[in-house]
Amino acid sequence: MYGCATLHGTLFQSFRGIIMINTMHHGQTFLNDHEIELTLWAPLVSDAWVVLPESGKRVKMARDERGFHKVRVDAEEGSLYRFSLDNGKIIADPASRFQPFGVDGPSMFVNPSGYRWKHDSWETYGMGESIIQELHVGAYSPEGKYSGLKEKIDHLKDVGINTVEMMPLAQCYGSRNWGYDGVFPFAPNFSYGTPNDLKSLIDAYHGEGINVILDVVYNHFGPLGGVFHELGPYFSTTYRNPWGEPINFDSGGSDAVRGFILQNVRYWLEEFRFDGLRLDAIHSIYDSSPTSILKEISSLKDELQKNLDRRIKLIAETDRNDPSTVMPQEKCGLGMDAQWNDDFHHAIHAYLTGERKGYYSDYGDFDKIVRAFTNGFVYDGVYSGFLGKVRGSRFHVVPSDRLVVFTQNHDQVGNRAYGERPVTLMGDSSARLFAASVILSPFIPMLFMGEENGEKNPFLFFADSTDGTFTETVRSGRLSEFSAFGWDTAIPDPFAESTYKASVLDWDSAKLDRGMKFNKLYRDLIKLRAIYITGKKYACRRAAGNENVIEVRYGENFAVFLSYTHRMFQPAVEQPCEVIMDTSDPKYGGTGSERKSGKGQIIMEPYSAVAISVQ
């Protein structure tokens, strides 16, 4: 029997050799300030030309036997171009570095050396040290630009957030979008600023000790504005996923497509200096190749990490509850650094809100919360009534700092009919308990923008399109989703500008008493995590007395009690101890009384969390 590591290593080396032979650099290559080489993979096209509208030139490209069209042109940074095909169509570059007028406009030449970085070295964090905030650039500030994020860097530092995770930036249709329907994966969305504006933002983050992760989508390209169908087999004809045609990673022509995606990974991590990528819905990335594209991405990350001499992180989104996602390749894993854990969210959300429709039907009783804390996954090889089958596998074989947990994220808020956040659904006291459950857990905490201020504005699904067929398809699809959860289907129109504007953070409310108290809660929770939790051994259990209370102990001197009961609760603490945090404290907006110390005398308010130092 072959050892897994040996066999996979052989396949990997062999497959990488094929990739390297059959793949070229896609898009632009600056040879100097005035000469640029362009490469277009278009095996369906016999003849192609580069059109330079500003000079009026039209330059024929040379085609090789694999369908790569290539030519050198006299041009400079900032000038525009398109490709003209032999069928008469004129298109943008699928590997465009910038679409200044959107998906239907020309591409722009962008010199990768055009930005002068101020910070060539910066602190990077391991997953266990990371305090992540997911954000949408357009909804983060009234400006809706990269500049709006720059202005709030001090806010992130004050809270203790050391990593931001940006929702996808690849150019999509329209001027406002969540970003998951990108069709120009190398082109940062023009709505937020220029590529150099993005680099300047990342540079500023790094200068203040904040890492930056980018959400990327490799399971499909968007349905509007793309040019791939004109060019070659970029899409799979074998598989289907909920959002469109999957990308072709294992059929004819897939070598070039894989190279296109791997180049995109390198582009964001190397040229833009992102500290990691979040890979969207990898369960919908279909690939039967001996070495999957996900393993290729993981291996490329390892290579870049070594060559660039800095830590790089890969975070996967997957609904499979499969620990092999975060196991190293030599142990037959995918080699990801972490994965999102929806189970943790669903277990607590369903219990605190009482929601039981849709996938929440698998959750809701307190034992599911206990399983989430003790096992990592709730469904770790047990039967799911919602799916009608066994789901997941045991997580105990990998460390807890491989799971990302959250009270909310763009999916869990934005895919609700009205985009409500936990504070709206369960009230402030339960939301404070939820926050403590996440930040004081042994897992990796991720906040969603604004929650640290008790943000009440919704985060709705929004987009921008005038294509009537497409907009109606989206509307009807979302209504069908919502009906499965029993939600009101009289929803805000996703394509109305007012829906987008309603989702922008309310920074004025953050300055009011309630917002400031929420902010203090989050700052104190994050400080406690850094002092008592990061890197410590832990044990989780249901607290003595069979109440709906969880006890998490870190080392010998620190414990957290999380009370999910409507009654007062007295934890069983034998040693003298000091209460160092209580989420029901009035300074956090609670109604509890101040309790500092005692032995077996701590009384917890309903739906609260208490952290104690044991003497």
Name the pLDDT band for 10 (thresholds 50, 70, 90). Answer: very low
> 491 pLDDT band (50/70/90 cuts)?
confident
Give the C-alpha separation, 593 to 578, whole Å: 15
| Exposure on the CB side of residue 120, measured as CA atoms within 13 A | 1
The residues, ordered by sequence, that sit 6+ positions from 224 with a Cβ below 8 Å of its Cβ are 103, 172, 173, 181, 183, 465, 467, 470
Q: How far is CA 51 from the centre of its chain?
A: 37
Active-site annotation holds for 317 = yes
pLDDT category at 7 given cuts 50, 70, 90 is very low
Query: Sorting pLDDT into bands at 50, 70 and 90, what band is 2?
Result: very low
Q: Which of 88, 108, 128 is the last residue of a domain?
A: 108
Answer whether residue 28 is part of any domain. Answer: yes
Cβ(373)–Cβ(311) below 8 Å: no
Distance in Å from the first CA to the final CA of the chain: 54
| Burial annotation 492-508 (CB, 10 A radius, 16+ → b, else e) | bebbeeebbebbbbebe
d(CA 531, CA 35): 54
Cα separation, 534 vs 442, whole angstroms: 8
Give me the pLDDT at residue 429, please.
98
SS3 527: helix
Give pLDDT, residue 153: 99
508 falls within a domain? no
Q: What is the pLDDT of residue 468?
A: 85
Whether residue 299 contacts residue 264, with contact meaning beta carbons closer than 8 Å, is answered with no
- Given a contact cutoff of 8 angstroms between Cβ atoms, the answer to whether 475 and 493 are in contact is yes
Residue 327 one-letter amino acid: M
Among the listed residues 93, 275, 287, 317, the single catalytic one is 317
CA distances from 165 to 137, 277, 316 (A): 10, 8, 12
Asked whether residue 190 is domain-assigned, the answer is no
pLDDT of 281 > 50? The answer is yes
Across 263-283, average pLDDT: 99
Crossing angle, helix 4-22 and helix 254-266, to 10 degrees? 100
> What pLDDT band is residue 11 in, cutting at 50, 70 and 90?
very low
**Both structure tokens of 161:** 């957030």
| CA-to-CA dists, residue 292 to 180, 248, 295, 509, angstroms | 22, 12, 5, 47
309: left (phi over 0), alpha (psi -120 to 50) or beta: left
The β-bridge partners of 52 are 57
Residue 117 has pLDDT above 50, yes or no: yes
CB 149 within 8 A of CB 305: no
Q: Is residue 167's pLDDT more than 60? A: yes
Integer Cα distance of 377 and 125 in angstroms: 24
| Residue found by looking up tokens 């030519």 in the block | 71
Measured from the Cβ of residue 287, the count of other Cβ atoms closer than 10 Å reads 22
For residues 208 and 163, is the Cβ–Cβ distance under 8 A?
Answer: no
**Which of 213-217, 240-244, 268-272, 486-490 has the least mean pLDDT?**
486-490
pLDDT band at 473 (very low <50, low <70, confident <90, very high): confident
Specify the pLDDT at position 329. 96
End-of-domain residue from the set 62, 79, 108: 108
| Measured distance CA(290)–CA(299) in Å, rounded | 14
Q: 172: which residues sit within 8 A by CB, 6+ positions away? A: 103, 179, 181, 182, 183, 189, 222, 224, 225
Average pLDDT over residues 36-42: 98
When pLDDT is averaged across residues 209-214 and rounded to a whole number, the result is: 99
Axis crossing angle, helix 254-266 with helix 293-308, rounded to the nearest 10: 30
Task: Provide the mean pLDDT of the chain.
Answer: 93
> For residue 234, is pLDDT > 80?
yes
What is the tens place of the pLDDT at every residue in 363-393? 999 999 999 999 999 999 999 999 999 999 9
Where residue 268 falls among pLDDT bands split at 50, 70, 90? very high
In a domain? residue 524: no
| Separation of alpha carbons 405 and 426, rounded Å | 18
The predicted model gives 56-81 an average pLDDT of 97
pLDDT single digits (tens) 298-342:
999 999 999 999 999 999 999 999 999 999 999 999 999 999 999
What pLDDT score does 593 carry? 67
Residue 600: predicted pLDDT: 56
Task: Return the pLDDT at 599.
Answer: 54
580 pLDDT higher than 80: yes
Backbone Cα Rg of the chain = 25
Return the pLDDT at 477. Answer: 79
Whether residue 47 lies inside any domain: the answer is yes
Q: Which long-range contacts (CB under 8 A, 24 or more apart) does 322-326 make?
A: 322/392, 322/393, 323/393, 323/394, 323/395, 323/397, 323/398, 323/402, 324/393, 325/282, 326/398, 326/402
Q: How far apart are CA 373 and CA 352, in angstroms?
A: 16
Select the more confidently predicted residue: 487 or 416.
Answer: 416
**CATH (domain of 78):** 2.60.40.10
**Does any domain span residue 469?**
no
- Give the domain CATH number at 595: 2.60.40.1180
Q: Express each pLDDT in 293-302 by its tens digit.
A: 999 999 999 9
C-alpha angle 262-265-271 in degrees, rounded to nearest 5: 125
Q: Are 397 and 332 in contact (CB under 8 A)?
A: no
What residues does 572 pair with on adjacent strands?
Answer: none
Alpha-carbon gap, residue 387 to 384, rounded angstroms: 5
- Residue of 383, 402, 403, 401 lying closest to 392 (CA atoms): 383
DSSP result, 378-435: S-SSEEETTTTEEE----TTS-GGGEEEES--HHHHHTSSS---HHHHH-HHHHHHHH
Q: Write phi, then psi, for 196 (nearest 5 degrees).
A: -70, -30
Question: According to the model, what pLDDT value does residue 595 have?
Answer: 54
Whether 605 is catalytic? no
For 83, other C-beta atoms within 10 Å of its C-beta total: 25
Distances (CA, A) of 127 to 55, 124, 215, 271: 50, 10, 16, 23
In sign, the C-alpha dihedral spanning 249, 250, 252, 256 is positive
Tell which of 59, 76, 108 closes a domain.
108
Domain range spanning residue 99? 21-108
Q: How many domains does the chain have?
A: 2
For 128-149, give one letter per residue: b (16+ CB within 10 A) or e.
bbbbbbbbbbbbbbebbbbebb
Say yes or no to pLDDT of 168 above 80.
yes
φ, ψ dihedrals at 127, nearest 5°: -60, -40
Q: What is the pLDDT of residue 17?
A: 38
* Segment holding 48, helix H or strand E: strand 48-52
For the whole model, what pTM was predicted?
0.95
DSSP letters for 548-599: SEEEEEETTTEEEEEE-SSS-B-----S-EEEEEETTSGGGT--PPP--EES
